Amino acid sequence: MTEESVEFLHAIGRSDLIAGVSVYAVRPPEVKQHPVISAFTHANLKKIQKIKPDLVIGFSDIQKDIAKDLIAEGIDVYISNQRSLEEIFRYMWTLGNMVGEAQKTEAYIKTLEEKMAKARAFAKTLKKRPKIYIEEWDEPQICGIRWFSELASLCGGVDIFESKSQDGIKASERFVTNSEVAQCDPDIILASWCGKKVDIESIKARPELLNVSAIKHNKVFELEPEIFLQPGPALFVDGIDRLIDLFSSFNS
């Protein structure tokens, strides 16, 4: 019922274990071979029962009611709630061991750690670390979740709402206003809205942001939610490269 587990199982060569996926699972392209059995806030109980899974995997407190219904039907459920990069690695270790693939998991995680090392090395080359505003939703405005904030910092950015991202487990704890954004004057705005396309022009047209550096220098970017809003491999596989490219252009 979640996307990062699908990408991870494909990455360690155990896609044969996947009996059904979320409609939002798009990585890797081979994911299309699996039947769809859920969205994110709801799941098709009858479809799940029909495939007779040994385990249903989900993510976050948002899926607690689905988990409750599945457990009531006698189905085993594992719901994770990872928020930080460290917790994401712990999640992959757990899942890899659950399916009996400790060695493959260790080897795969090493490749992701190498990407992190690349990000740290790049960050040291920056003449100026850009101030970043990460927007996860527009109405109400929600700043970036913890792993997104940590990834931006890893690549050399300075998240203007780092404390909110670190402490705000729930989305309601990460609400921000345009006035707060303007006061921090970010150099770059990274928008990744969960469930809909980012309207960059609407961000540029916000009256309070007209004098913000990111708006004046046209540094407002849409980032792919399937990469940046999924707490799994995509953050390291493609997210790091994407941020390095953006931060490189800021310093050129």
Each residue's pLDDT tens digit, 66-97: 999 999 999 999 999 999 999 999 999 999 99
Asked if domains 3-81 and 114-251 share a fold, the reply is: yes
- pLDDT for 42 equals 86
Report which secondary-structure segment, H or E, holds 190: strand 188-191
The domain limits of the chain are: 3-81, 114-251
Q: b or e along 192-230 (b: 16 or more beta carbons within 10 Å of the residue's beta carbon)?
A: bbeeeebeeeebbeeeebeebebbeeebbbbbebbbbbb
pLDDT band at 252 (very low <50, low <70, confident <90, very high): low
Superfamily holding 3-81: Nitrogenase molybdenum iron protein domain (3.40.50.1980)
Which fold does the domain 114-251 belong to in CATH?
Rossmann fold (3.40.50)
> Helix, strand or coil for residue 196?
coil
pTM for the structure as a whole: 0.94
